[in-house]
Structure 1
């Protein structure tokens, strides 16, 4: 049993297939298949059943998966500890970030961090906030930079930025010229929002529910750039953060509505952070000030 084969096994299990695992690991599909075959041979047991294009874990695979993730997390922690023996900060720092933060908040921070700590290899993954939390729980990411929602131990979140949300429409939307807009006015028109399981959707839906109103959803998607486009062409109203406002959309003066989400950093409270992670968090907090 070797680390490369274990890593391939976890990737296939998490991604649900060999092709997706190969893309994640930057390998060819035959290379991933070979690693799985070597692991199955060394264990003397099949780990996956191949049902056409579908791949499912066998009983042995289900037994191995949590132990493999724990072994890989411990191996990564050992590598970080050895890297941290050097005077300069080095090693690998795995960050899971939401698309919005990655595009609108992170670029200047990444530039400064790389200049301060050139020996750190940044492993940056873009995903939904909820997926980023899962990565931290599993140990495949050391830090998650996301919209903050309710967290429970062992996760620990630190707010970094306040992120006000503005209700916007296309300049030619029926509500665009109103001097005052109510929640009832919005409820009468279709909206496009992130998926119902996201923190942002929950913030908006709760604001309407408290007033006995429901949303008229046209569709949902987790890409804010797509949401902005759909609003900008007049298909729906939506909410956008300050960093995405421009001439394509018009902010509505909605009476009695103040929507703010918090963006920040989430870590696993039961794990010791690498020096690289500690340095990155310090840079985040400095940026917040």
Structure 2
């Protein structure tokens, strides 16, 4: 089955892309071969064929360990998106007058429940008025647990550190911004360097969050030691503190309310970057209503990838 063409215009096989995704998800030839029902040697040969066609190595092999190269990391979200669209298209060949009914159970971390989820639900429920939706705001670890138990249909979060039974599809690359009040002295800046936060008062997420560990590493890289006024485990109180005090926070711009009470300013040198995505149970055939909402979510992220900065 033909899916695309390579850099020379030659046709690429759909199976090559599915093998690539399986190996990228498992980072193990043994587990990827088991999932795709082929031998390890066949999988290795198919991956080499794909690398020859694209003209770049997609995986580094160090002993028995497998790593995605930068080229592989860049290719993966695009292949996932393409395969997802194809699978949805095949499901859409069923009768077009099918009415979606029932309950959709989704959960997201606070960042995505502020703007992204309401926007997607508005479109989804307008198109499917018979659907009913349950939305929960949960920590990433709880989202993972509830997906595995079947209590959720879909999660919106970040890539799990150690969870082989969940599939993760990146939606876009998300820079973290400096969040401040309109009367802060940096409110009119076009950007702020991370090093400028040295000894500056900040409020950050607690150390158990992956985002906080990412920020600590960015501070280490630029040699900055901020004056940590407070650590909090939810975003609402962080935003409330920034409104009331002359301090700043570092959050996704998705978390910034659209009422103008807070602003976001880009950070540079380095720019903290994360990749939000969808969490699903691995190898599960999606019911039509879940596939429909996922399509809405993908299109919303395509339109705002990355979401516009508020300067």
Q: Distance in 2 between matches of 1:192 and 1:120?
A: 40
The corresponding residue for 2:117 is: 106
1:156 partnered with 2:167? yes
Decide whether the 8 Å contact of 2:200 with 2:227 is kept in 1. Answer: yes
Where in structure 2 are the equivalents of 1:245-260 lying within 5 Å?
Answer: 248-249=261-262, 254-260=267-273
Deviations along 1:31-56, whole A, 9 cap, x unmatched?
xxxxxxxxxxxxxxxxxxxxxxxxxx
**What are the equivalent positions in structure 2 for 1:88-237 lying under 5 Å apart?**
88-150=99-161, 152-170=163-181, 182-237=193-248
Aligned residue-pair number = 206
Report the equivalent of 1:283: 296
CA RMSD of aligned residues (A): 3.3
Structure 2 unmatched ranges of 5 or more? 1-93, 303-311
Residue 210 of structure 1: SS of its match in structure 2? helix
The alpha-carbon deviation at position 247 of structure 1 amounts to: 5.2
Aligned match of 2:309: none
Q: Using the alignment, how far apart are the partners of 2:296 and 2:193 within structure 1?
A: 40
> Aligned partners of 1:287, 1:253: CA distance in 2, in Å?
22
Does structure 1 conserve the Cα–Cα contact (< 8 Å) formed by 2:222 and 2:269? no
Q: Secondary structure at the match of 1:141?
A: coil
Whether 1:273 aligns to 2:286 is yes
CA deviation digits over 1:142-199, x for unaligned, max 9?
A: 1001244545311111122433221234456576688985534413123211222223
> For residues 263 and 271 of structure 1, what CA distance do their matches in structure 2 show?
21
Contact 2:102 2:131 in 1 (8 A): yes
Offset, 1:129 = 2.4
Cα distance in 1 for partners of 2:285, 2:272 equals 35
Rg larger in 1 or in 2?
Answer: 1
Cα gap change, 1:155 to 1:230, in 2 (>3 Å)? same
SS of the residue aligned with 1:110?
helix
Gaps of 5+ in 1: 1-83
Structure 2 Cα separation of the partners of residues 181 and 124 of structure 1: 35
- 1:252 to 1:104, Cα distance in 2 relative to 1, 3 A: closer
| Residues 191 and 216, structure 1, Cα contact 8 Å, conserved in 2 | yes
TM-superposed CA distance for 1:267, in Å, is 0.5
Q: String of CA shifts for 1:89-134, please: whole Å, max 9, x gaps.
A: 3232211112221121111211221122233321211112232122
Distance 2:189 2:285 in 1: 53
TM-fit CA distance, 1:277: 1.0
The 3 A distance-change label for structure 1 pair 252 and 121 is: closer
